[in-house]
Amino acid sequence: MTTDKPLNDRVAIITGAGGDIGRAIAMSFVEAGARVCLIDLAPVSIADFPEDRALTLACDITDPTAVDEMVATAARHFGRIDILVNNAAAEARIGKICDLPVEAWTQTLSVNLTGAYLLCRAGIPHLRRSKGVILNIASQLGHVTALGHAAYSASKAGLMSLTRTLALDHADEGIRAVSLSPGAVMTSRLIRRAGSEEDALALHAPRHPLGRIGTPDEVADAALFLVSDAATFITGSDLLVDGGYTLK
């Protein structure tokens, strides 16, 4: 039987689903036929998702035991796992190395990089059965950097390196691993840090050759492509969705 749903009945775990990008990815996947498990530190609302297509679980993705239990719960609930999306990210703490508190460095690496490792460690045994996909949400600041972004940039560059190793290690099992690097995206976090939507545009838009910043839906569209069968010969690669930010 054919279907126009590119992710028909596949199951995705999405971390950082309480944020704008994570939620947009989850909604895009559901519209494409997937069932989704939305993960954040506290359960997120799934009121606007079809009742039988979404599950929400609270999980500290830096806690190995909690991650193992979350993956096991999702697998029992849905009966399978096909896609892992490592989207959770600590808010960037700005500061040169000598001014950056040790705990800020540790938290950033723990959430952005170790959290991805822990989800992959728990999820790959399920992906072996489904020949699934790992999608890591990196950043343009993993390709380049910015003043005072040592921890964030290092974590995202590490996430891209982890993606390449995952792709190589598990290719013979039919598992793909890819990453996606957004530029500045109009999220509630970006607006809060800038002070207003207008200030966010004034600060970030000129840095992107396209003259604007991205939207969560644009990131979600790219994520959907990478995990779909339209990208079955893509593994170990990073897709820049950055409005040309890294061209300069």
**pLDDT of the chain along its 248 residues, tens only?**
345 799 999 999 999 999 999 999 999 999 999 999 999 999 999 999 998 999 999 999 999 999 999 999 999 999 999 999 999 999 888 999 999 999 999 999 999 999 999 999 999 999 999 999 999 999 999 999 999 999 999 999 999 999 999 999 999 999 999 999 999 999 999 999 899 999 999 999 999 999 999 999 999 999 999 999 999 999 999 999 999 999 98
Sheet holding 54-58, edge to edge: 54-58, 35-40, 11-15, 83-86, 133-137, 176-182, 238-241
User: Which residue stretches of 63-210 are H helix?
Assistant: 64-78, 102-109, 115-130, 150-170, 188-194, 197-204
For residue 79, give the DSSP letter. S
Residues ≥6 apart with Cβ < 8 Å to 57: 37, 38, 39, 43, 70, 73, 74
Q: With CA atoms as reference, report the closest residue to 70 among 178, 81, 97.
A: 81
What are the φ and ψ backbone dihedral angles of 214, each rounded to 5 degrees?
A: -80, 175
User: For 11-184+215-232, CATH number?
Assistant: 3.40.50.720
Q: With CA atoms as reference, report the closest residue to 143 among 189, 192, 183, 102.
A: 183
Would you state the pLDDT for residue 2? Answer: 43
Give the β-pairing of 133-137 and 35-40: unpaired
Question: Would you name the residues annotated as active-site residues?
Answer: 152
Would you state the pLDDT for residue 3? Answer: 56
Contact between residue 49 and residue 26 where contact means Cβ atoms under 8 Å apart: yes
Cα 131 from chain centre: 19
Contact between residue 137 and residue 179 where contact means Cβ atoms under 8 Å apart: yes
